[in-house]
């Protein structure tokens, strides 16, 4: 754990993208080697940048509802890890937040993933995470999510739970009917076991 903690300290002190970040660097991630569930996402939004807590926003409320977990379980790094494609808020664009900074993943991602040895389910949120963790940029989010059985039960591509995606949720009601019950059952299975102290 000493090596892991040193790596986290180095990440939290990262300045690689400092000149490109409108609010400055504030790397936000939640990781522990024992976590059974890994959420790979886009990048923190403005509200999360302010709080320093991943998914402490409207997207997080919906994500926890999709997973069927309490805040206590979700914010426990020994149960749930959160690893965005970009660790810092990238700034706002004309129709939402800007994409994750491209420097972040090459600098840190594989080193962190190697340490997450307990992961048994990876939730892959949105197109940037899906392009990296699944089949590259060739599939749309809808195509990846519709093909969820190809990755199950180790990985599950899902849309970003952002309120901006309301139209997608309405047009793809099958996601809630077909996928979410499977997700909740798997998450319950993985989070039910008591944690070992120490």
Task: Give the count of domains, the chain.
Answer: 1
Q: State pLDDT tens for residues 95-136.
A: 778 999 999 999 999 999 999 999 999 999 999 999 999 977
198 falls within a domain: no
Question: Domain containing 113: what range?
Answer: 2-191
197 falls within a domain: no
19 falls within a domain: yes
149 falls within a domain: yes
139 falls within a domain: yes
Q: State pLDDT tens for residues 54-107.
A: 999 999 999 999 999 999 999 999 999 999 999 999 998 887 789 999 999 999
User: What's the pTM?
Assistant: 0.94
118 falls within a domain: yes
CATH number, domain containing residue 107: 3.40.470.10
Q: State pLDDT tens for residues 140-159.
A: 999 999 999 999 999 999 99
16 falls within a domain: yes
Gap between the Cα atoms of 162 and 182, Å rounded? 21
């Amino acid at each position: 754990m000493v090596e892991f903690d040193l790596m986290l300290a180095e990440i939290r002190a990262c300045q690689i993208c400092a000149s490109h970040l409108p609010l400055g660097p504030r790397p936000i991630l939640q990781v522990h080697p024992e976590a059974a569930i890994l959420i790979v996402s886009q990048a923190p939004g403005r509200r999360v940048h302010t709080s320093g807590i991943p998914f402490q926003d409207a997207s997080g409320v919906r994500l926890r509802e999709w997973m069927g977990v309490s805040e206590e379980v979700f914010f426990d790094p020994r149960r749930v890890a959160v690893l965005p494609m970009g660790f810092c808020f990238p700034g706002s664009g004309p129709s939402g937040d800007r994409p994750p900074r491209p420097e972040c993943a090459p600098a840190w991602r594989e080193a962190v993933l190697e340490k997450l040895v307990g992961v048994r389910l990876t939730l892959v949120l949105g197109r940037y995470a899906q392009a990296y963790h699944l089949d590259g940029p060739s599939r749309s989010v809808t195509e990846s999510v519709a093909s969820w059985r190809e990755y199950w039960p180790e990985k599950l591509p899902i849309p970003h739970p952002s309120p901006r995606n309301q139209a997608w949720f309405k047009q793809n009601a099958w996601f809630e009917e077909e996928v979410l019950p499977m997700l909740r059952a798997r998450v319950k299975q993985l989070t039910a076991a008591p944690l070992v102290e120490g």
